[in-house]
Amino acid sequence: MPIYFYTAHEEPHGCFSNFSRHGIDLDGAWWPTVEHYFQAQKFAGTPYANKIRIAFTPKQAADLGRSRQHPLRPDWEQVKDEIMLKAVRRKFELHTQLRKLLLATGAEELIENAPSDYYWGCGSDGSGQNKLGQLLMRIRMELSSLPSLT
């Protein structure tokens, strides 16, 4: 049976959301959530990226990242999938309990049940691309072949 997740506080799989409060160290800095990192990379190398890094909540980070008052980096569409992969992979490398939970999902399909997101999630009608779920399944496969991390 597919496993759906969306809001970060929802048990047992809400921690698969990028909004879950599991920080990561990447590019020489600490990021309170994957969402902080992902949104900041839209403006990498500018002071606005650090403003997003220190946002109080992942929701605030997302709002800042979605604001178009600051110019989005021109290659964003080309690099966003790789950036997301790097950040989510780091999250599951770093947090042992999350890694165990991800591996415990076995071969089940993972679906981000985000009603308004047809790219990272499945959208309100299930027709979305579910890129985040696909990426989690890819990371699950990578981790399962690394006995030192299982």
Residue type, position 77, single letter: E
Instruction: Return the ∠ at Cα 67 (arms to 63 and 70), rounded to 5°.
Output: 135
How far apart, in whole angstroms, are the C-alpha atoms of residue 126 and residue 117?
A: 10
Q: Residue 29's Cα: distance from chain center in Å?
A: 17
Token pair of 103, please?
Answer: 């591996």
Task: Single out the segment in contact with ligand LIKH6CAM by CB under 6 A; choices: 22-30, 49-57, 110-118, 137-145.
Answer: 110-118
Does 9 interact with ligand LIKH6CAM (rule: CB under 6 A)? Answer: no
Candidate residues 114, 122, 135, 139; the one interacting with ligand LIKH6CAM per rule CB under 6 A: 114
Does 40 interact with ligand LIKH6CAM (rule: CB under 6 A)? Answer: no
The owner of tokens 């990447």 is: 26
Does 19 interact with ligand LIKH6CAM (rule: CB under 6 A)? Answer: yes
- How long, in residues, is the chain? 150
Question: Cβ 119 to ligand LIKH6CAM, closest distance in Å?
Answer: 6
Candidate residues 26, 35, 133, 137; the one interacting with ligand LIKH6CAM per rule CB under 6 A: 35
Token pair of 67, please?
Answer: 């604001």
Residues in the site for ligand LIKH6CAM, rule: CB under 6 A? 17-19, 35, 38, 65-66, 112, 114, 116-117, 120-121, 132
